[in-house]
Structure 1
């Protein structure tokens, strides 16, 4: 049996940071187990290449949800990264921290050290922001943040102007003092390449003699001696292997795989485990419960001005932008599809923004089975205004189906299962149409393609977003943090309640979702979690 000080399960957004920080002082040996393979792939490193990885089983778990009543019984596609860097290697790279109130609510719920003022220094230390350092932004950190204000498609500026005409302010930095308004999104890239957690943290750590990374290594069971985690059993190359952790086992497998591994190992809802013949090590009904996710939808328009469709669709256009990218690391392929966006309130009773906007200067209405056609958009000048809810009240669950670790778990999002979520989304889609009706946009819109002008009544609008919306890939909270062992899975120091030698450090510990994209918060969680481990083990 191999033996290490720490075993980190998962090399995703948080796990990469944990491995780098725990190994930095040279005192501790660290084993990282990653179920997927390498991140050294062209379409992983090229920012807009995530359209090619959206369904690619070589780098993507390609999860499917249960038919969801809230989504007209649709089965939603949930891409999650299965490679070094995890989902930070296949996501859309929008760098958003969330709102101060999100984290202050975490602390107020009994999680000291997790308030915004506690976490801001960590966020700043992570970042190397191209816009420069200030009271809110960091400079010199491992994650390079690109300021795209001079690089976006011209239509993005029309969207921003329309947002202002609709009553929103122009926001130069969504990670600054205030999140509300419209603006250009910052993305985590550097020199035209994706700045994933693997590139920022794990690759440097892999050069150290005290770090071992095993790819294509699927963790199948946490090994316990009594209630103490002492190691991991895993599959690699057709063999069942074991590794022992002298100090701690750290689960950083994400909001799906972390609760799955816990349940397979006897930690979770007792009735479920007993029914599947899994011996109960520690009963906790909250493992896999409290699933939260942002739901999103696009409104798509046919325009009178050229969009990215006209350059990305034809073969000669692909050749031109391909050459531009290869020679200069610039152009559309070096960007995210979400170039602009913002945050707004659906009604005056909201004390802070509860909806997020996305502007995309291209469209993909025409169906292509098994592909997300970012690089082959519609043949006409199209663009989309998308949105997602920031703090939905609907709750779902992730539970194993069998005791076979190769079987995917049952994912039940329960989207739009509360009246509040339905009402907020109805108000939000009406506001999207308001933006589109403003002079800056209306003068270039030929027609609304989706859902189309015939969709007008509240009932029709609700039916439409139930049918067409789905995840924006931010599942969290399936092993939530809290001081009360009867209401949570980990304590504020991320130790699993009722067990020892075991921590969870990933987005599954979020007590509640944050207002915006979750990647930056996941990386921050990795940094904070690793710091707490070092506090406990460096005497």
Structure 2
């Protein structure tokens, strides 16, 4: 093999960026971070409102799901990042962690060291919070976490409308209690996106032991005699790792590369002509994602940011941001939302809301010509399980992504309940001044069958895939609770794919936490490298 390193990290996304920065705090440890995507030099990666461009092709692989057989064969766009920083460089910057009980359930499943009190210190360690420094939040860490700087009056009316239905205001949904509507904190610093790459990699690029290569897709992980020894790039070159190969390519990319490397379900690999290195049927199984439904209302005036899609307004917004760091460009467009219940008996909130300050913000979502507002809801604890498989042995081919949305009837019922609740919120008196009429679903959607027909056409991914290389104590689990691959030495997976169950919220903060905790585990397991 060519030049060797102690650690090779495959994937420069949220977790991979954290790992590279933390492991190279020891100057005697050499780390190579390989990112298949490009640099993040384009300004859209740094201004908060750049998110609106991200689901429409910029910085994305452009993948889709397979036809969803429980949603009348609907095919979904499935945005997966293709840039350093990964999802944290293209997402809506919403900083949520899930519920404390999510992690306690992981511990109860046998994932020792992953209860809420175990992971909370890593959340605090990562943060540089502009508001809180307490039991739940930290300051002085790499990751900027900030309150929104560009809320609109319609946001406050949304809070009042929710209160009419008994949903309280919550100042901090990542604090003691998750329940209620809120301004989300955002992964921003000084009105700029704080991606994992900008927070963890950019300040440490001077380190001689940190090597970052972009535009470097990996063809396969090299395994010799049951041990991961390095990687082979698309161009055929090989690089050696003397300590570990760490896979941090996300819940789609990690199981994809494992299977391309001959590690996965043997029958599937044989059918594609891939030599089986290690038979592990659960690689790429257990895919979970949140299905996003939305209610769209036309507004009665310029109450949202829709008008800034027009060129002259866009130019004015750019100037406002340049000189004041305020206005539409400083907004993530989804910085308001909250958590509540589809099932009143649920152990914690099972719905999440995102108030979109406009329409047509994401690819495939309808827009209102005269401006509107969008209220998304997603059911947070789906029972449906999907998969990630290969369509061929060609690494240039997109994977077969099957979230298997609504396979479980309860997911369908709870999702429809959430959509109905968004309609109720938007119909309350405090929003009357702002809203002209509900356009989607609209008055013609009445029965549950009508709602099902509607969501088969009008829904999207929440961009929260998880679970495809799950950790666990059982024999079927892909990883042990220290994120080591079971059955192969010197191979770890550290990203959102390790979650046994998806957290009850957005997943980016959890991926960063997993990177922080994973780095500590590696240091502990390689005492000589500390």
Q: TM-score, normalised by structure 1?
A: 0.95
Contact 2:150 2:330 in 1 (8 A): no
Contact 1:309 1:377 in 2 (8 A): no
Q: Which residue does the alignment assign to 1:368?
A: none
Q: Which residue does the alignment assign to 1:276?
A: 272
Q: Which residue does the alignment assign to 2:335?
A: 339
**Deviations for 1:267-286, whole angstroms, at most 9, x for unmatched residues?**
10011112222222211110
Shift of 1:377: 6.0
Which of residues 414, 424, 429 in structure 1 aligns to 2:414?
424
Give the Cα–Cα distance (whole angstroms) in 1 for the partners of residues 433 and 314 of structure 2: 29
Give the Cα–Cα distance (whole angstroms) in 1 for the partners of residues 174 and 271 of structure 2: 46
**What 5-or-longer segments of structure 2 have no aligned partner?**
none
Q: Which residue does the alignment assign to 2:236?
A: 240
Give the Cα–Cα distance (whole angstroms) in 2 for the partners of residues 224 and 162 of structure 1: 57
Q: Identify the range of structure 1 (490-499 vs 342-351) with the bigger mean alpha-carbon deviation.
A: 342-351
Do residues 316 (structure 1) and 312 (structure 2) align?
Answer: yes
Matches within 5 A, 1:17-56: 17-56=18-57
**Local SS of the residue matching 2:186:** coil
Shift of 1:185: 1.0
**Deviations for 1:299-334, whole angstroms, at most 9, x for unmatched residues?**
001122422345413333112111011222221111
Shift of 1:49: 1.0
Do residues 397 (structure 1) and 387 (structure 2) align?
Answer: yes
Q: Identify the range of structure 1 (378-387 vs 95-104) with the bigger mean alpha-carbon deviation.
A: 378-387
Give the Cα–Cα distance (whole angstroms) in 2 for the partners of residues 373 and 228 of structure 1: 44
Contact 1:71 1:470 in 2 (8 A): no
Give the Cα–Cα distance (whole angstroms) in 2 for the partners of residues 372 and 346 of structure 1: 26
Contact 2:150 2:326 in 1 (8 A): no
**Local SS of the residue matching 1:91:** coil
**Deviations for 1:363-405, whole angstroms, at most 9, x for unmatched residues?**
229xxxxx8499x964313111111111111110000111111
Give the Cα–Cα distance (whole angstroms) in 2 for the partners of residues 61 and 266 of structure 1: 23
**Local SS of the residue matching 2:449:** helix
Matches within 5 A, 1:4-403: 4-56=5-57, 59-148=59-148, 151-235=150-234, 239-309=235-305, 311-364=307-360, 372=363, 378-403=368-393
Q: Which residue does the alignment assign to 2:430?
A: 440
Contact 2:260 2:274 in 1 (8 A): yes
**Deviations for 1:445-479, whole angstroms, at most 9, x for unmatched residues?**
22111111111112111221122112111101000
Q: Which residue does the alignment assign to 1:528?
A: 517
Give the Cα–Cα distance (whole angstroms) in 1 for the partners of residues 351 and 456 of structure 2: 17
**Local SS of the residue matching 1:77:** coil
Shift of 1:79: 1.0
Shift of 1:160: 0.7
Give the Cα–Cα distance (whole angstroms) in 2 for the partners of residues 513 and 78 of structure 1: 17
Give the Cα–Cα distance (whole angstroms) in 1 for the partners of residues 358 and 300 of structure 2: 13
Q: Which residue does the alignment assign to 2:490?
A: 501
Contact 2:307 2:371 in 1 (8 A): no
Give the Cα–Cα distance (whole angstroms) in 2 for the partners of residues 406 and 312 of structure 1: 37
Contact 1:26 1:210 in 2 (8 A): yes
**Deviations for 1:168-199, whole angstroms, at most 9, x for unmatched residues?**
11100011001010011111111121100000
**Deviations for 1:201-231, whole angstroms, at most 9, x for unmatched residues?**
1122322000111111001111111110000
- Aligned pair count reads 527
**What 5-or-longer segments of structure 1 have no aligned partner?**
366-370
Query: Over the residues paired in the alignment, what is the CA RMSD in angstroms?
Result: 1.6
Q: Identify the range of structure 1 (304-313 vs 396-405) with the bigger mean alpha-carbon deviation.
A: 304-313
Shift of 1:50: 1.9
Shift of 1:66: 0.6
Give the Cα–Cα distance (whole angstroms) in 2 for the partners of residues 20 and 299 of structure 1: 41
Shift of 1:4: 0.3
**Deviations for 1:46-70, whole angstroms, at most 9, x for unmatched residues?**
111122232335x211111111123
Give the Cα–Cα distance (whole angstroms) in 1 for the partners of residues 205 and 323 of structure 2: 29
**Local SS of the residue matching 1:535:** helix
Q: Which residue does the alignment assign to 1:410?
A: 400
Contact 2:306 2:357 in 1 (8 A): no
Q: Which residue does the alignment assign to 2:505?
A: 516
Q: Which residue does the alignment assign to 1:462?
A: 452
Which of residues 474, 495, 518 in structure 1 aligns to 2:464?
474
Give the Cα–Cα distance (whole angstroms) in 2 for the partners of residues 64 and 381 of structure 1: 28
Give the Cα–Cα distance (whole angstroms) in 2 for the partners of residues 226 and 205 of structure 1: 35
**Local SS of the residue matching 2:355:** strand
**Local SS of the residue matching 1:296:** strand
**Local SS of the residue matching 2:422:** helix
Shift of 1:2: 1.3
Give the Cα–Cα distance (whole angstroms) in 2 for the partners of residues 353 and 338 of structure 1: 19
Shift of 1:361: 2.2
**Local SS of the residue matching 1:422:** helix
